[in-house]
A = this chain, B = another copy of it.
Amino acid sequence: MSRPEISNRRVTAADIARSLGLSRATVGFVLNETPGQTISEQTKQRVFAEAERLGYRPHTAARALASGRTRIVLVVLPDWPLDFSLRRNLEEASLALDEAGYSLITYTPHPTGQARPLWETLAPDVALSMVGRFSQQQVDSMRRAGVRAMVPDPDQVDADEYPEEGPVLQVQHLARLGHCRIAFAESADPRIADLVALRHSRARQAAEELLLPAPVALSVNLGDDSASDAVRKAVSAGVTAIAAYNDEVAAALVGAALRAGIAVPQQLSVVGHDDAPIASIVEPQLSTVRIDTAGLGRYLAALALSAAEGHSPPATIPQTQLVLVERASTLPHT
């Protein structure tokens, strides 16, 4: 019934206390659910109700100053455009962190390195790298800025890499369709060279295990004509099926093939990776590998949280479910 008072000042915990005839401390204890305090249930409810009524929002800066923790997780991203799946991961992670009262902020360091790195001004509780390990210089800078935890932990050298199983699924799928001459199409973008190489090598391993010849290596640069060259190279090498680094590369190959008069999937099968929107947009729709991005995102969040609160990290990388989605861009070899 009673409307929140109209005032340009922001609502503080002291306002709640005053309006309820309580002390600031009590209000703080209730709102933070501080352990070791005995507050009557009735008072708690009154505080919650009044906070709601007044539209109270804790002042982040004040809280950070008092507690020494910012409740910020800084995710350091590489300089290349985000894969669809990575974006979804981050969204999922952000949601999970938000629930725990943390904020996820993304940051791409500048190549020039002129500006102060964002962690110096934000002083996040946790810095999480999606680019590999932090450099010693970065680690020092973060420590000085008060970053209490980093992922991967610079003190622990053992690297638990994400087991890229997607390319394995791609190759197995193509093999099951009877394709023997397979190619793997890399993205030529140097900034993602590591991940590209990893996926390529996993594809090679998978082929080896299936006693297939090593995949022909193709390279596609989005934005120029290299996809046409790649298709030409593949065809002249007798390739009947291509596993692509991701859906964009796959789509580029499909487009180039069609332009060259090569029917997809009748003459050439192409399988993508990530199940990005583009996979179901293009014609023919792409067979691809779907990643359990939600699970991965939650894992990321759990990793950051454990680092923030000093728990031990989640036991294992969840066996995220990869699924090969069969659409129209792959067909049995004839």
Binding site for B on A (CB under 8 A): 2, 10, 55, 57, 59-62, 64-65, 70-71, 81-84, 87, 91, 94-95, 98-99, 103, 105-107, 110-112, 114-116, 118, 120-123, 144-146, 155, 222-223, 248, 251-252, 254-256, 258-259, 277-278, 280-283, 285
Contact = CB atoms under 8 A, between A and B. Distances in A.
Given A81-B82, A115-B94, A255 B283 contact: yes
Nearest to A63: B61
A275 B110 CA distance: 19
Contact of A65 (B65, B106, B144, B155): B65
Nearest to A155: B2
A65 B59 contact: yes
Contacts of A146: 10
Contact of A81 (B71, B81, B116, B122): B81
Contacts of A155: 2
Contacts of A103: 118, 121-122
Nearest to A146: B10
B283 A120 contact: no
Contacts of A87: 81
Contact of A112 (B10, B95, B252): B95
A62 B65 contact: yes
Contacts of A106: 106
Quick one: which of A70, A82, A110, A278 has the most chain B CB within 10 A? A278
A96 to B, nearest CB: 9
A145 B106 CA distance: 21
Contacts of A57: 120, 144-145
A120 B59 CA distance: 9
A163 B237 CA distance: 51
Quick one: which of A10, A65, A123 has the most chain B CB within 10 A? A65
A65 B55 contact: no
B70 A95 contact: no
A287 B204 CA distance: 38
Given A2-B155, A65-B62, A255 B285 contact: yes
A110 to B, nearest CB: 5
Given A94-B115, A98-B115, A285-B255, A121 B2 contact: no
15 contacts: A2-B155, A61-B62, A62-B65, A81-B81, A81-B83, A94-B115, A98-B114, A98-B116, A106-B106, A222-B281, A223-B280, A248-B278, A251-B278, A254-B283, A256-B283
